[in-house]
Amino acid sequence: MNSKKIISSVSLATAVLATGIISQEAHADSVDTTTTTASQAQPQLVTAEQVASAKATFENNQEAQAQAQSVADSKKQALDTAKANTTTAQDAVAKAETAAASATDTNIQVAKEAIPTAETKVQSAKEAVETAKTDVTTKEASQSQAQEAVNKAQGNVNQAQEAVDEATQIQSEKQAVVDKSAKEVEVAKQGVTNAQATLAEKTSKVSQAKQSVETAKQNDAKLDADIKAADINAEKAYQTAQVAKSDVDAAKTKADETAQVLRDANHPTHIVMSDEFKQNLKYLLFEAPTNNMAALSAAVDKVIQSEAESSKLNDAYFDTFTPDTTGVKYDVEHLPIELQTELSQYMAYLVNDVRAQLGQPKLVVNTDAIKFASLVAEKYAKNHDPFSGHDMKAVNEAAKEMGYWYSKNNTINSYENMAGDIIKSSYQIDDNANSLYKVGDKVEATKSELYQLIADNVAGFVYEGEMNGSYGHVGSLVKQPSLGLAITLTHTDQGFGDIPMTETHVLLVPEHDYANYDKKLLDSSKNVPDFVIPDKQAAEVADRAAQAALVTATAQAQAAQTRFEQAKAVYDALVATPRQTADAEAKLATAKTELANAQAALETAESTLATVTASHADKVAALDMAKTARDEAVNALTAAQNKLDVANQELAQRKTATTLAKEKLAELEQAVKDAEQAVIDAKATYEQLVKAKANLETARQAYAKVVAAQDAAQVAYDKAIVALTNAKAQTALSGTKYTNLKAAYDARIAYEAAQRKAKEEALRRQAERDAKAKQVRQDVNSTQNNRVNSNTYVGVHTTSFAAAQVATAEATQAVVNRRGTTDYQAPLPQTGETDTAVYLLAGLGILGLAGVTARKRRG
């Protein structure tokens, strides 16, 4: 249905109500169905394109309002800074006036004379320092001598202990020989007794032989007891050796731990900046006038000029650290959250070092910032071009998910700093210096290498001026309150094959939302504790001690193993010793058969007894000497241990003396610094008094400049407020226009549907009336006595439908003219509500059609 037909129908219904035209009763066949289009009375209808255009205008105005708000906030901050600068300059003028008032000739002369007095004190303090240094050197030498005495005493104790162990072993061996000799004496005595008995009483030979057998059995029993005792000794020695092995394992574990701590401590803990670079950077970031582009550019150039020398100092410091490439490897694209947090803490540690040097408060690591960084890293395109800059879409989509302000058009990056780098061990080259890395290969690095990567990233942020002429990254790092990082992998081809590169995404989350200052973004309960870095020197000392303990434990384990093997040898020897019972029984048989030779046997036995007795006496004497030697060794060990205790006490005393001497030296060195500072202060006081009047004039000029700057900032802020007010007004107007157009468009769609339905109903009823009219004519023709001139009746009482359309069009135009309707908005009568003229006419049209239909039905 076209728009002209819609307006025509609406106009007709309105005219019926407005002019009071009412059709008289008429036959159905007299209705004039001619349609007339009154296009000159039709207002402009709302289209879908108009609604879409209004919506786009409204959204653009919203974006413009947000930008105007951001500009106003920035100008407000600039105004506050200018006011603070004015206050500072005013204070400076007051101080300069006070100084100028005190700059009398007398005060200047006094200040001048104070300088040589202060210089004399410096020389005296330096002489005291040299004397203290000599004292420290003397006491350190004394301490070193005491340490040598302790080491020597410890060596003596060790030697004495070895002597005791050796004497104990010798005594044990001599005792075994005596025991064996005693057995031989007993055997010889028994032989004599047996021989004598054989000679004395031939009949008791068997009885005596049996006694010998019993004696042999007792000896065998004793041998069994000795074997059991040797077995126990061997078992104890075995257990001692096992404990010693466990001690070696524990010492090895400790040594491995201290070695790992030493490796972990081997990374930079400081960003080196020269005093000149530091001062220039501080001025650029916090003091340079932001509204003076020439001054700002000059400040940048000054930082760049001092960067090269300062960067060399930092490079030299970084070169003292070599990352460990032999430890546990981590996939750089899938770091454990604990390690990702640890790397964020390490970066914050280095950034806080920079902030401290620039006189700024510390930032923190927050788990929400780490989550933000992880979201950004997930959204970065795979194999992102490392030279294409930030992925705006990734950053803003992640900010939206976190509930932070974001750029809807992805044209602004308000959160991310990004650094690219290469981990040297992550790829290999062939003989032609071409990279063997292929895109998609896993890239792994040790924790030490990742630490070095983060340190290089921070240094790159600080020293970037010579590369791009800007210090935007370090500026954001030292001003934002929190950070979190994540690492992604990409690659580049510089003509030698693909090389893997890392991209470190550092997300800086502000305290408050950019678009809503009342919305706080950082939850302090999610802050991560400050990072603690192990002391490298302490780690080296602990590692040396652990390695020495491992050597000692290993030596002790070897000694314990030797003692076990010796005890096992004694046991094996006893087990191999033959039993005596069988031999005694054999002798019993021999005694029975060699009775005739008993006399000879007796003489032999007596001779043997004399021999073994003499030998046994010699062995007992040797045993007594071994016991005496062991007692002497024990006494020597006790004396050596006493000397060691005395040496340790002396060493402790000398260490205390050295410490006191060093503390005294430190006090005297501080005194030198204080005296030198006094000279500096005296000279500064003199210079201040001499230049007081000139400084006053300079301060007054500076005050005039900052007052002018404050006025300019006030003007800029006022303009920004006006722009913001206009933007808000534009947004409100475009929003109202969009709402009204949308409502009118919806009403139009509803009305068209109603019109189609009404037209279909009218056609159906017209068909019914036509059928009834035809029947009436047939009835009239058949009844001659009731003829009626129907044409005359209709002509008198019928109002033409076409005429009604013309009247309706005129009435509609009158309504439109009276209300002053625009193409998108018109007020409703009396209520003050806003709606469209088309929507108003549509409502009247439905009522009007209802009235016409009712009257026609009665006809």
Q: How far is CA 106 from CA 109, 260, 301, 427, 696, in A?
A: 5, 67, 44, 75, 20
Q: Which amino acid is at 668?
A: L
Contact between 304 and 469 (Cβ < 8 Å): yes
How far is the C-alpha of 340 from the C-alpha of 603, rounded, in Å?
98
DSSP code for 30: G
Least Cα distance to 371 among 528, 530, 532 occurs for 528
Contact between 64 and 730 (Cβ < 8 Å): yes
Least Cα distance to 311 among 466, 182, 165, 539 occurs for 466
Looking from the CA of 778 toward its CB, the CA atoms found within 13 Å total 6
Contact between 400 and 515 (Cβ < 8 Å): no
Long-range contact set of residues 318-321: C-beta below 8 Å, sequence gap at least 24: 318/268, 318/455, 318/456, 318/459, 321/266, 321/267, 321/268, 321/452
- CB contact set of 459 (below 8 Å; sequence gap of 6+): 271, 311, 314, 318
Tokens standing for 792?
């005359």
Tokens standing for 609?
């007894």
- CB contact set of 71 (below 8 Å; sequence gap of 6+): 720, 723, 724
DSSP code for 363: P
Q: How far is CA 663 from CA 142, 258, 325, in A?
A: 17, 30, 41
CA atoms 444, 450, 456, 462: torsion sign? positive
Contact between 142 and 657 (Cβ < 8 Å): yes
HEC-encoded secondary structure of 609-657: HHHHHHHHHHHHHHHHHHHHHHHHHHHHHHHHHHHHHHHHHHHHHHHHH
Domain ranges of the chain: 3-50+737-858, 266-515
H or E element, residue 35: none
How far is the C-alpha of 693 from the C-alpha of 102, rounded, in Å?
10
H or E element, residue 310: helix 293-318
- CB contact set of 367 (below 8 Å; sequence gap of 6+): 341, 484, 526, 528
How far is the C-alpha of 420 from the C-alpha of 490, rounded, in Å?
9
Tokens standing for 541?
């000392």
CA atoms 404, 408, 414, 417: torsion sign? positive
Q: What angle do CA 185, 187, 192 make, to 5 degrees?
A: 95
How far is the C-alpha of 73 from the C-alpha of 63, rounded, in Å?
15
Which pairing describes strands 527-528 and 444-446: parallel, antiparallel, or unpaired? unpaired
The label of the residue with tokens 């003596």 reads 156
Contact between 562 and 291 (Cβ < 8 Å): no
DSSP code for 286: I
Helices 48-102, 598-690: axis angle to 10 degrees equals 80
Region of 316 on the Ramachandran plot (φ > 0 left; ψ -120 to 50 alpha; else beta): alpha
Which pairing describes strands 364-366 and 416-421: parallel, antiparallel, or unpaired? unpaired
DSSP code for 520: B
Contact between 497 and 345 (Cβ < 8 Å): no
Tokens standing for 529?
């504790």
H or E element, residue 55: helix 48-102
User: What pLDDT does residue 599 have?
Assistant: 86
User: What pLDDT does residue 129 have?
Assistant: 95
The label of the residue with tokens 């255009």 reads 53
The label of the residue with tokens 């001092």 reads 306
- CB burial class (10 A; 0-12, 13-18, 19+) of residue 406? buried
Contact between 147 and 651 (Cβ < 8 Å): yes
Rg, Å, the chain Cα set: 56
How far is the C-alpha of 847 from the C-alpha of 813, rounded, in Å?
19
Distance of CA 390 to the CA centre of its chain: 21
DSSP code for 827: E
User: What pLDDT does residue 813 have?
Assistant: 53
Q: Which amino acid is at 337?
A: I
Q: How far is CA 103 from CA 95, 114, 844, in A?
A: 12, 15, 93
**Residues with pLDDT less than 50, the chain:** 1-41, 783-808, 811-812, 815-816, 818-859
User: What pLDDT does residue 481 have?
Assistant: 97
Tokens standing for 432?
């032609």
HEC-encoded secondary structure of 672-694: HHHHHHHHHHHHHHHHHHHCHHH
Region of 585 on the Ramachandran plot (φ > 0 left; ψ -120 to 50 alpha; else beta): alpha
CB neighbourhood size of 572 (10 A): 12
